[in-house]
Each structure stands twice: as C-alpha cells, then as structure tokens.
Amino acid sequence: MSSVTNIFLTANKSVSQWQSDNLLQIIDDDIYIYLDDNDLFPLQSIQKAGRSIEKMGVKNAHLQGDSWKADSQWAFALGFTCVDKLTNIEFNGDEDVVSKLNDKLAVYAWSRDLTNQTPSQLTPLLLAEKAQKYITTQAPEYVKTHVISGEALSEQGWTGVYNVGKGSVNPPCIIEIDYNPTGDDQAAVTACLVGKGITFDSGGYSLKSNEGMFHMKCDMGGAAVVAGALALAIRQGLKSRVKLILCCAENMVSNNAYKLGDILTYKNGVTCEVANTDAEGRIVLADGLLMASENSPTLIIDAATLTGAAVAATGGDYTALFSLDQQAADQAKKAATSENEPLWQLPLAKWHQDKCPSAFANTANSRPIPGGGPGGASNAAGFLSRFVDGKGWLHFDLAAAYNGSANAQWGAGATGLSIATIANLLLSQ
C-alpha cells in the first residue's frame, strides 16, 4: 500500500461477494469501514477497525469523506495508533475540529510515549524533568515548578516518597508544577492533580514474579495521565490555577530499602505499618494528597496504576473511580461519558479506612495476603482517604492504562485513557 492510505467511513456496502459483510472493505488502495445501522457499539467497532487497519501495514491513515465526526475519528485514532505510530493520522473536517483532534492526539502521544519508556530511560528525576518541560512548553509565562528530592524529602516530612524510593541509586522526588494564568500569585488554586510516578516497581522486599515485574515500567502511568490532562486542558483554554504534583520513585531492593514492618509517620500524624512493600503506590500518593490539601482546592484528583484488584473488577476495560463525594463522582462520570472514555465507580465508604488494620500503627498500607484480600481496590482507596478532606476528591485507579500485548482494540503499551476526562473536569471548574 502507499505511504498514506485513504480511510472512508460508510453505512453503504461498497462491494459485493465475499467482502459484502466485512467491517473492512478494500477498493483499489482505499479502505472503507462499513458500519451497519444496527451496530450497538459503533465507536468500539471503529476502534477495532483502526486496529485491524494498522496491522495490515498501513503507515499513515488519511480519514476521508463526510461521514467522519469528531468522536468517530478519535475512536479510529485510538485503535490505529501504537508504538512508533502515535501521530500517524490526518484528520478530516473543518479547521476547528481538526485542530482540536490534533491537539488531543499530540498530548495522548506524549503521555503514551512517556509511559512506554524503559526504566533506564526514565528515572524519577527524569520523569519530573520531562513533565516540567512539557507543561512549560504549553504556557511558559504561566508555569513555575518546585522539586524536592533525595534526603530533602525526609527532612521536610515527605515520608512516603522518601521511604519507597530510598532503596534506589536514583533518588526519589516530588515535583509541584504550578500553572497560574491569572497573573496573581495569591490566586486560589481551583484544582490539584496528583500522579503516581513509580518509574519501576520491583515490588521491593515483597518481590514481584518475573511475569508481574515485566511491564512495571508502566507504573508511572498515573503521572503521565495527569500531566497529559493538564497539558490538554491548557491547550483547550484553561483559565484557572491548577497545581500538578507528581510523586516519583523507584521501588527497589537494596540494603537501604524500606522493609516489611517499618512504620511511617505522615505529616498529618497518621502512622502506617508497611505490610506489603509492593503496595507502594498508595504510600507515595499519601504525600501528594497531603501536599495538594495544603492548597485547599475545590477539586483534588489523583491517578495511579494502583491495584490489580481494579483490573480484576473491570476487566481492564474501564478506569475505576472512587470518591467519598457523590456529587464530584457524578461530575466525573458525566465528563467521562461526554469524552467517550470508560469509567466505572466502585464502592468506597469511610469504613474502608479500617480494612487494613495494624496492631502497631493507625493503619497498615495493605493486608499481608495476596492482592490485599477481598475488596483490594476499595481498601486502597480507603487508605488514601485518610489524607484528604473527602469533599471534591476523586481517585482514578487506572485499570485500563496499559496493555502488555495488543488486543482487538489497542496496540501494546499505554492507552492514555482518562486524560480527556480529567481535562474536562479541570475546564468545568
């Protein structure tokens, strides 16, 4: 096929005989996606078509014809794009539609590529640096950053990030990126985004298996998603002040690594016994949530590839949503629906805080059984809820953030799912 292939979307059968009922129909060098009027999930079918077309060896897709709408073009883009082809699409429509789709594609490509990088390419401080550079590029005059790394984390009381990352030769860090387009240094912070940035997760002394560790370069996917969400919101005209907080560390085994039975004391006085060093995401996010809460924003969103339990509950097809504020959760679900991103709310109540008990501290970070036991995703969210007021707080457990291998809808690697949903929430504040 040529280097650029024209892709048409149609409800009319363009061919006969053996191709007549196929989702994909080929005429000369053009490809037609045939959608039956009775298709109950047309966007999903278009995404699957995009995946199939990429596997044919198409290098660049040019969407042609009048049938393409913004949502159908984006569905195609999600299926077609993959490693080394993250931006290889020419969109269709008026200038405004094409511009918005190109902005969205560029941000998702950056976030997905960041998540796909190897642990040697992306150490904690490099993750912070790349996020800072990308956000600053969006609006250089409105961005300020502050980084706390290494021993300074311990000295300033950021015990979670410090302890999870102290076993690595690559020092941990927290970066705070302040986007303030108001021109007023005293302006209220309307929202804070907190991202889990574990650039590699060995599991620590609760060591993962080879299979479980193989894809753990993706464990900073939460940081990539919230950074991408802020970048997209800025491109879409964000006018309010937002802070992005990334909690970055490598969870490694060494003579200096944190250990089972250690007790951590957080800035708010909560003590935590380490029952599982592989439940490190919630340990670092606690610091990020405390830092976010210091700003008294109306909205706090954290995002993390946090629990296998969320993947088991959703099949890896949805982002799992948790909140103690049902109004905020309903807003998130509405935003996800408008962006055509799968989001599913799972149970969370105040009493989930007590689901990881400790005889020696206020709480443990997990339960010392595989997967944290029943309700593991809710229990993790319950742990996090100790570090926020609860009102206006949303926890995104990114169960659909990464695929170890390609499937019918996605290429292998990061998906970027929930970037648009979170950006939508920022713009609605």
| Per CATH, domain 112-427 is 3.40.630.10 | yes
196, two tokens: 């889990």
**Catalytic residue (choose from 217, 282, 367, 386):** 282
Strand 299-304 vs strand 191-201: parallel, antiparallel, or unpaired?
parallel
Question: Count of CB atoms within 10 A of residue 17's CB?
Answer: 5
Amino acid at 427: L
| CA gap 14, 319 in Å, rounded | 37
| CA gap 398, 107 in Å, rounded | 18
Q: Which residue in 286, 274, 276, 283 sits closest to 245, CA to CA?
A: 286
282 is catalytic: yes
> Phi, psi (5° rounding) for residue 18?
-65, -25
**Catalytic residue (choose from 85, 208, 267, 333):** 208
């039975």: which residue's tokens? 261
Classify residue 189 as left (phi > 0), alpha (psi -120 to 50) or beta.
Answer: beta
Strand 191-201 vs strand 242-251: parallel, antiparallel, or unpaired?
parallel
DSSP letters of 135-196? HHHH-GGGEEEEEEETHHHHHTT-HHHHHHHTTSSS--EEEEEEE-TTS-TT----EEEEEE
Q: Which residue in 396, 175, 209, 365 sits closest to 300, CA to CA?
A: 396
pLDDT of the residue at 368: 87
pLDDT of the residue at 67: 95
279, two tokens: 């439940």
pLDDT of the residue at 16: 62
Collapsing DSSP states into helix, strand and coil, what is residue 301? strand
What lies within 8 Å, CB to CB, of 233 at 6+ separation is: 242, 422, 423, 426, 427
| CA gap 200, 144 in Å, rounded | 27
Work out the angle between the directed axes of helices 95-116 and 70-80 (0-180°, nearest 10). 30
208 is catalytic: yes
Contact by Cβ (8 Å): 253, 237:
no
pLDDT of the residue at 1: 44
Q: N- to C-terminal Cα distance for the chain?
A: 47
Interior angle at CA 88, CA 82 and CA 93, nearest 5:
125
pLDDT of the residue at 298: 98
Show me where the domains of the chain are located: 4-93, 112-427
| CA gap 343, 280 in Å, rounded | 24
| CA gap 220, 216 in Å, rounded | 8
Query: Which pLDDT tens digits describe the chain residue by residue (429 residues)?
Result: 458 999 999 988 766 666 667 888 888 889 999 988 888 999 999 999 999 999 999 999 999 999 999 999 999 999 999 999 999 999 999 999 999 999 999 999 999 999 999 999 999 999 999 999 999 999 999 999 999 999 999 999 999 999 999 999 999 999 999 999 999 999 999 999 999 999 999 999 999 999 999 999 999 999 999 999 999 999 999 999 999 999 999 999 999 999 999 999 999 999 999 999 999 999 999 999 999 999 999 999 999 999 999 999 999 999 999 999 999 999 999 999 999 999 999 999 999 999 999 999 999 999 988 778 899 999 999 999 999 998 999 999 999 999 999 999 999 999 999 999 999 999 998
